[in-house]
Amino acid sequence: MNTSNTFFGHPIGLRTLFLTEMWERMSYYGMRALLVLYMTGAVTGFNPGLGWSQVESQAIYGIYSGMVYFMVVPGGWIADNILGHQKAVLIGALIIALGHFTLAIPIEQTFFLGLIFVVLGTGLLKGNISTIVGQLYDGQDDRRDSGYTIFYMSINIGSTLGFLICSYLGEKIGWHWGFGAAGIGMTFGVIQYIQHRHLLGDAGMHPNDMSDEKRKKYSNYLKFSLVAMFMVIGAGLFGFIVIDPRFFAEQFAYFLTIVAGLYFLYLFLFAGLNASERKNLILLFLLFIGAAAFWSGFDQSAGSLNIFARDYTDLSISGYQIPVGWLQFANPIIVVLFAPIFAGIWAQLARKNLDPSLPLKFAIGLLFMALSFFVMILAVNLAIESSPVGMQWLLLTYLFQTWGELALSPIGLSAFSRYGPKRYMGQMFGLWFLASAIGGVLAGLLGGEALDGGLETISPIFEFMIQYYLVIAIALIVLSFVIKTAKD
Ligand code: PHE
């Protein structure tokens, strides 16, 4: 085998995507770890922040996280019908870099503009780059799944780099240095992508076949939507419309839920599905709820838990105060350490025919999430007695959350592609990201609610979350006995 033309035994184009995604996630997670710290930071003193309230800042964080993944849906449509996936990734990466550099400008006025660029760029990049990964392989090539596993590693290497560099610079030198570092990271990704894009060959090169007339119609839709969107954004940025972050976040959460609900309903009633496809759709609907609930806890790592780390946790190691964001290293490091172990456990169980079904794995993910917030409640109680508490509490929380992630996230996407109605395959991808979007905005709303009254208001919210994790987990366990997925 000519190893110089492969990447760990995979098509060499995977290397291009691996490095692009690594730098993109470096910039995404690196910046995200600074976001609420910057918004809620005191306006005076060394490294002044914006001095905004917890409720507002967490809501903005939620809107941002929700928008990033919501935009993956139109981003996929644009790539499918107009740009092709390769070009969409390039344009997306450039817009992301522009966003981070905008945030690096040390004034408050450009803050939202920077976030909007990152949202729009990520919408074009994140889903489409994952699609190209799949297209590197021929129809039946069984390396595809392990290709996605390698790709998942790039995500975690990227976020580790992001926390390391951006949190250090942002917290210890100045926020805007951290944002700038995210921009430089993304720029490395852009340069690398431009240099090595040819290695992708035809994968993701061309948009769907259609008549010139139809394509023209589609690009007109796009132009019209872009103009309308920039008018709304402009009106917001120049203060013609005043937006209350919390109200907006709530409406956005309803909007996303209604969009997802209507889409499921449409598929169920009007897509001409047969009985077994309908049964699978009910399963996907429950998995969707499970995933949205899961991310609503998971995404609090850079939200409420980040604040808990800053305000109530002792961050000194041998006299050195580590940056707050460094605690989030736990997630990617645990992913890399435990991913092979989880894969091994599932494989062992499968050999004995005991491999947990999809709903059961999702339930396991939610139970770990519940456990992680139970640990947090213990930590909060301790902090009420005497603050700060040790780092081990957050580390244990992240350990459980990451075990949950490993049970739920890697199989989620493939579940949607395997059990989704065949003719709607492309959109199943969008649906999976829509669950993350709902989770993201809920994370901001719940996190804001939790921190509204300092330590005292945290536990009731976390208890409420534990309750809904348990309810959904039990529903999924019951369902796993009732619905046996129809094999395709
Ligand atoms: N760590 C994952 C990533 O950044 C989390 C995630 C899963 C995000 C699913 C979106 C959708 O890719």
User: pLDDT digits over 274-301, tens only?
Assistant: 888 898 899 899 999 999 999 999 999 9
In a domain, 293, yes or no: yes
Asked whether residue 214 is assigned to any structural domain, the reply reads no
Any ligand 1 atom below 6 A from CB of 436: yes
CA dist 74 and 72 (Å) reads: 6
Q: Is residue 310 part of a domain?
A: yes
137 and 53 in a common domain: yes
Do the Cβ atoms of 295 and 438 come closer than 8 Å? yes
So what's the pLDDT on residue 204? 87
Pick left, alpha or beta for residue 314 (phi over 0 → left; psi -120 to 50 → alpha; otherwise beta): beta
Rounded mean pLDDT of the chain? 93
Q: So what's the pLDDT on residue 336?
A: 93
- What's the rounded Cα separation, in Å, for the pair 440 and 53? 19
Residue closest via CA to ligand 1's atom 8 equals 436
**Are residues 169 and 28 part of one domain?**
yes
User: Quick check: is 465 in a domain?
Assistant: yes
| 69 Cα nearest atom in ligand 1 | 10
Q: What is the CATH number of the domain that holds 456?
A: 1.20.1250.20
CA of 410 to the centre of ligand 1 (A): 9
Q: What is the CA radius of gyration of the chain?
A: 22
Supply the residue whose CA is at minimum distance from atom 12 of ligand 1. Answer: 155
- Give the mean model confidence (pLDDT) for residues 372-394: 97
Q: Indicate whether 150 and 290 sit together in one domain.
A: no
- In angstroms, the CA 177 to CA 170 distance is 6
Q: Does the beta carbon of 409 lie inside 6 Å of ligand 1? A: yes
Q: Which residues contact 164 (CB under 8 A, 6 or more apart)?
A: 326, 329
| Domains identified in the chain, total number | 2
Of 209, 225, 243, the residue at which a domain comes to its end is: 209
Ligand 1 atom, smallest distance to 28 CA: 4
Gap from CA of 25 to ligand 1 centroid (Å): 9
DSSP assignment letter at 320? E
First to last CA, the chain: 34
What is the model's pLDDT at position 244? 94
- Measured in Å, residue 8 CA sits from the centre of ligand 1 at 23
Query: Would the pLDDT of 392 be above 80?
Result: yes
pLDDT at 2 over 50: no
Residue 474 lies in a domain: yes
Assess if residue 148 is contained within a domain: yes
Q: Closest Cα to atom 2, ligand 1: which residue?
A: 155
* Probe target for ligand 1 pocket from 436, 438, 441, with the most ligand atoms within 8 Å of CB: 436
Are residue 290 and residue 205 in the same domain, yes or no?
no
* Residue 224 resides in a domain: no
Domain final position from 167, 183, 209: 209
Do 164 and 295 share a domain, yes or no?
no
Based on the fold, state whether residues 345 and 446 are members of the same structural domain. yes
Q: Is 155 in the pocket of ligand 1 (CB under 6 A)?
A: yes
Ligand 1 in reach of 27 Cβ (< 6 A): no
Task: Note down the domain range covering 94.
Answer: 1-209
DSSP notation for 364-379: HHHHHHHHHHHHHHHH
Residue 254 within any structural domain of the chain: no
pLDDT surpasses 80 at 333: yes
Are residue 180 and residue 280 in the same domain, yes or no?
no
> Do 264 and 198 belong together in one domain?
no
Show Cβ contacts of residue 314 under 8 Å, excluding neighbours closer than 6 positions: 388, 389, 390, 391
Say whether both 441 and 308 belong to one domain: yes
Determine contact, residues 73/218, Cβ cutoff 8 Å. Answer: no
Q: Determine the distance from the C-alpha atom of residue 191 to the mean position of all C-alpha atoms in its chain, rounded to a whole number.
A: 24
